[in-house]
Structure formats: structure tokens, C-alpha cells
Amino acid sequence: MQAVLMSDTERRVAQAVHALSRSNPFLPERDACIEAALGAAYDPADSVREVGQFRARGFSGNVARLHELTAQLLEDLRGRILAGAGRSDEDLALYESMVSYQLYSEHRMSFNACLLPGAVALDPYERRQSYARFAQRARHFLALGQLTFPFLANLAHQYAFFYQLRRAYGTIFLSLAGLSGPMMRLRAKIWQSIFTHDLDRFREALFSLMNDFATLVSGPSGTGKELVARAIGLSSYLPYDPVAGRFAEGPGDSYYPVDLSTRASQLIESELFGHRRGAFTGAVGDHQGWLDVCGPHGAVFLDEIGNLEPRIQIQLLRVLQERRFQPLGDTETRLFRGKVIAATNLDLGAEMRAGRFRTDLYYRLCSDVVETPTLKEQFDDAPEDRNRLLLFLIGRILGQGAGDEVVTSAVQEVEAWIDGHLGEGYEWPGNVRELEQCARNLLVRSEYRPLRPGPEVDALRRAGERDVPQVTAGSEAERPAVVSTGQPANVDPGAGFLDAAQAQGMSAEALVARYCRHVYERTGSFMQTARIVGLDRRTVKRRIQSLAEL
């Protein structure tokens, strides 16, 4: 009687590894697959939720045990195949899937050279050596007599795919701090934005088509939308050339961020589309825009896209529909080959109803939508995340020269102050950005005064202004005083404004702009004005300038 290729126990392990290799590493299914493969050897304390850190070197306990188990099982199965053991198509497919997982596991360390802060990427010779080892191991397991495994058809593509997997996993983990449910779900959504929900389909066909899917990142200010965009933009598929020993681009050469809220419309056009010499006053030479610079494996990130004026919205719509654009002052049509990632903290539904944002542009952007959670949502789910996030933020503030003891001591002081003065119910309306500034305030002067918008801003909110945050907890005495030139600190810079404005029958939009200018004229500072009215400094500046242009 001919021996079968796998026992029931071995098939169970192979099926679990097969599912693992296709799972989203930031969802519970990942740990469920590892547990199914390891059985009693699985350690629950070593799950991705419990460990919550990117391992640059070495494996976690569970993954190390699975690596050893899979390595031994594959050698046994290879020997049985060569010996002529009976096998079904399903068994061979499971075997090939295990080989794929093991090859990634064996070679992920060489990919880390492009991920770690300050690390130097492998030079072409070292990369060729890494690829040669990868190809040798692949043929060791899959070049078995007359058997044909699809994996061998394009080893360079498989190597590039594994490089993308490792780069994406590391970039997502290194970009976003926190282990709350909302943060883990956000990481899982970013993974889907890069690879879709079907990893097999991505590897076989979609890897070269993802630029056709624009990504829209939405969420309140300070929730990390730019970090999400950066993680997606730095994780694109990069083809590998085994002869040259290099990938099509470097890991950090493919991401081009453009902040649309800080530039005049003509400068936005020039930065995006480029211009020819003489296209406008001051255009003394040709300029290549980001849409031209961005190659087929890159991404252009358009921050604050909700603020884009209608004329440029039409131009961007053409880019998304036809993949074509024209530099200012040029008649030649250029081809855009990269991916568009956009972000906004506005309610685009309300913007479309108000006629400020084009519906057709929205429906070109919404093929992939990622929503970022608020800091309050994260802390409500996992209060311990505050400590992790403060460790990350304060470590970054103090720099690499600060020892662990210094950072830990600072974190403990900041946490004690927050507990004693703000309490667990504090809403953190500025999200992560506010938490960081709170930590900076406490490091500098051991106090932090949260912004408490006054009654004028409450009235603006009731009038329908979309950008004004909710009033936060705290006593009236905690409201920061206004420091200005020729203005007593205890005088409300918005005093008397509403009565005069409402008498003129202003719209909510005009009311906000004029209130910003009213406060700015009394404080002399965009930053102070932003703190008082409860808007982002860039938004305040833009609205004041919009009045000046009328």
C-alpha cells in the first residue's frame, strides 16, 4: 500500500499555516491560525495584541516554534514526495503554501535592513546574494522531478512580494503606536489598503493595479491621517531585478506629500502639475510637479483635500479619470502613473451638499476609505495605551540621547499630572497632537492649560460651523488668558463680536472668517487666534486671507 503524503495531524498543521500565510497580521485571525498550528505549544501571552511591538530581530516565542515546526515538516514531506508517496492536488497545494510561508520566514531578516531607523540598505552584491539564497531554497523544496509548482514560475516576483509584505508590516507598526481595539483595526484597514482583503488575488493580479485605487483617509484633526497615508505610500509593490540586484526604487523614494491648506491655488497647481517658464509671474524656469516626478511605484499624498478650490478639483478629477494632466503653460499632456492618497478632516458629505466639493471627485476618491479613530476612543478601549503612547511621544521629544530611566520618569510625571488635573473623562479634542503638546507643556513648565472655547465659539458651532471642536472638560479658571499687544490679558478678544455680526445676517462661513480676523486683530498672532477660536492655525490663516482677497 502506497504511503500517503500527510497524516491527519500534519494536514492540520499545513492547513493552519496555509490560512496564516493569507491572514491579516493585525486581526485576531492571525493568532488563531498560529494556535491551530501549534496546539498545546501555543502561548497566549505571546499574541500580537499582548506583545504589540515590531520585532526587528529574531522571532516571538510562538512564531519561533512555528518556524521550527514548519521547517522540519517540510523536510519530511519533501523526502516523501521524492520517495513517491501518494499525494492529492490539495496536499501539494498545502505543501507549496507552507514552502512560501517558510521562505518568507527565512528571508525576512534580510528585508529588515531597509526598515530599521538608521539602517543601511543592502548593496546590489549583498542583495544578489540574498536573492540567490532565496532562489536556491525555493528550488530545494519545489524543483522535485516532474512536479511543477506555480511558485517557481517567477521567483523575482515572489521575492518582491515578500519584500513588500515585510516593508508594509514594519512600516505600519513603526508608524502607529497603541494596542487598543480601534488602533489594531486601523492597522488592519491599512493592511487591506495595501494588499486588499484577498492576498492570493493581490499576489497573482492586483499587485500591479493598486495605483488605480485612490485612498481617502478621513478623521478628526490630530488622529494621524498623515501617518496612515505615509504607511500606505511607503509600502507599494517594487519589482526586483535579479540581474542588477536591486528593486525598482528605494524604500523611501516613492512618497510625495503635498499640504493643500498652506499654499495659494496657483502654487498648488504648480506643485502638483508643474509649470513651464513664463506660465505666470515669477515662473523664471520650468518646474516639474509631483505628478510628473512620481513614478509608477509611488504615491502622491494630498493633505486637506477638502480645502481644494473647485477649479483645481476639476483638474484632479481628470487625473483620476484619465491618468493625464498638463503642466501650467504647457500644451503637452503628461501621464500620471502613481497612486493618489488624500486626507481630510471635513465632512465631505456636508461639503458636497453645500456645493464646495465635487460629487464626481468624491466618487473617484472613495474606492478605498480609511477612517482614523479619536484618541478618546482608543483610551476608552485600552487605558494602558496612554502609557505606551506617552513613552513613544516623550522618547521622540527627548531624543536618542535620553536613557530609558529619564524617559520613564518623565512619563510617570506626565501621567500623574493628567490623572490629577484632567481625569479619565477628558475628551482630548486635539487627539494625539494635543497629547504631545500637553507632554511638552508639562516637561517645560509642569502645567498644561487645555483650550476652552468661549461662548462665541459655541454660538458658531450652533450656527453649523463644521471645524470647531467640542468644549472640553475643566473649570472656567483653566481657560488660557490671551497674551497680546496692547490688550489686557483678562479682556475677551471676541467680546461684542456676535451682536454686531448677527445684526448683519452673516452666513456661518462668513461668520467664522470674520470672527477669526476679529480675534487676530486683537491678538496679533495666528497661533493665539487658533487657540481662542478652536481651529487649526493653518485654517485660521487661510480664512483670514480669504477675507483679504475679497
φ/ψ of 341, rounded to 5, equals -120, 130
Answer yes or no: do 475 and 431 share one domain: no
425 and 294 inside one domain: no
| Model pLDDT, residue 456 | 47
Question: Who's near 90: CB < 8 A, 6+ residues apart?
Answer: none
Give per-residue pLDDT as tens, 139-154: 999 999 888 899 999 9
Would 188 be classed as within a structural domain? no
pLDDT at residue 219 above 70?
yes
CB 300 within 8 A of CB 339: yes
Q: Is 483 exposed, middle or buried (0-12, 13-18, 19+ CB in 10 A)?
A: exposed
Residue 211 lies in a domain: no
Query: Is the predicted pLDDT of residue 135 greater than 90, yes or no?
Result: yes
Q: How confident is the model at residue 253 (pLDDT cuts 50, 70, 90)?
A: confident
Helix (H) or strand (E) holding 223: none
Parallel, antiparallel, or unpaired for β 215-218 and 368-371? parallel
Cell of 351: 461639503
- What pLDDT shows up at residue 546? 74
- Residue among 50, 94, 43 nearest 70 (CA): 94
Do 418 and 327 fall within a single domain?
no
Which secondary-structure segment (H or E) carries 249? none
- What is the reported pLDDT for 52? 46
Rounded CA separation 234/250 (Å): 10
Mean per-residue pLDDT of the chain: 83
Supply the pTM of this predicted model. Answer: 0.79
What average pLDDT does this structure show over 450-476?
A: 45
Across residues 105-116, what is the average pLDDT? 74
Quote the pLDDT of residue 526. Answer: 76
Does a structural domain hold residue 200?
A: no
| Whether residues 360 and 262 fall in one domain | yes
- In angstroms, the CA 82 to CA 131 distance is 25
pLDDT at 464: 39
Is 503's pLDDT higher than 70?
Answer: no
In a domain, 99, yes or no: yes
CA angle, corner 344, sides to 338 and 349, nearest 5? Answer: 110
- Apex 312 CA angle, 307 and 317, nearest 5: 105
Would you place residue 126 in the very low, low, confident or very high pLDDT band (cuts 50, 70, 90)? confident
Confidence check: pLDDT of 30 > 60: yes
Contacts of 431 (CB under 8 A, 6+ apart): 220, 221, 222, 223, 224, 374, 375
Q: Looking at residue 461, what is its pLDDT?
A: 42
Q: Is the pLDDT of residue 434 over 70?
A: yes
In a domain, 2, yes or no: no
Give me the pLDDT at residue 506, please. 62
Structure-block grid coordinates of residue 131: 536573492
Band (530; pLDDT cuts 50, 70, 90): confident
Kindly report which listed range (104-108, 282-286, 378-382, 411-415) carries the lowest average pLDDT score. Answer: 282-286
Worst-scoring range by mean pLDDT, 259-273, 311-325, 396-410, 455-469? Answer: 455-469
Any domain includes 191 = no
Q: Higher pLDDT residue, 525 or 369?
A: 369
Residues in the chain: 550
> What pLDDT does 217 receive?
97
pLDDT of residue 472: 34
Q: Do 170 and 112 meet the contact criterion of CB atoms below 8 Å apart?
A: yes
- Residue 498 C-alpha from the chain's centroid: 40
pLDDT of 394 > 80? The answer is yes
Higher pLDDT, 388 or 53: 388
Q: Which of 349, 371, 393 is the last residue of a domain?
A: 371
Residues 358 and 386 in one domain: no
Report the Cα 385 to chain-centroid distance in Å: 18
User: Cα(426)–Cα(418) distance, rounded to whole angstroms?
Assistant: 9
Residue 383 structural domain = 375-445
Q: For residue 252, what pLDDT band results from cuts at 50, 70 and 90?
A: confident
Note the pLDDT of residue 376. 93
pLDDT band with cut points at 50, 70 and 90 for residue 474: very low
Both 391 and 523 in a single domain?
Answer: no
Task: Specify the higher pLDDT residue, 399 or 459.
Answer: 399
- 120 or 526: which leads in pLDDT: 526
Same domain, 387 and 340: no
Q: Let me know whether 403 and 476 are in one domain.
A: no
Return the pLDDT at 121: 58
Beta strand 334-335 with 339-344: parallel, antiparallel or unpaired?
A: unpaired
User: Do 323 and 234 have their domain in common?
Assistant: yes
480 band by pLDDT with thresholds 50, 70 and 90: very low
Q: How many domains does the chain have?
A: 4
CATH number of the domain residue 339 falls in: 3.40.50.300
φ/ψ of residue 342, rounded to 5: -125, 155
CA 113 to CA 107: how far, in whole Å?
Answer: 11
Nearest of 431, 417, 365, 382 to residue 181 by alpha carbon: 382
- Predicted pLDDT of residue 470: 34
In a domain, 194, yes or no: no
pLDDT tens-digit readout, 82-104: 998 888 899 999 999 999 999 99
- Residue indicated by cell numbers 486637506: 304
Verify that 493 and 507 share a domain, yes or no. Answer: yes
**Residue 498: what pLDDT?**
52
Rounded alpha-carbon distances, angstroms, from residue 409 to 133, 178, 282, 391, 412: 46, 20, 53, 10, 5
**In a shared domain, residues 386 and 421:** yes
Of residues 501 and 25, which shows the higher confidence score? 25
Boundary of a domain, candidates 423, 445, 467: 445
Close Cβ partners of 72 (under 8 Å, ≥ 6 residues apart): none
Q: Which of 403, 422, 445 is the last residue of a domain?
A: 445
Q: Is residue 58 part of a domain?
A: yes
Q: What is the reported pLDDT for 497?
A: 55
What CA–CA distances, in Å, run from 388 to 51, 178, 394?
12, 6, 10
pLDDT score for 122: 63
CA angle 129, 130, 135 (to 5 degrees): 95
441/462 same-domain check: no
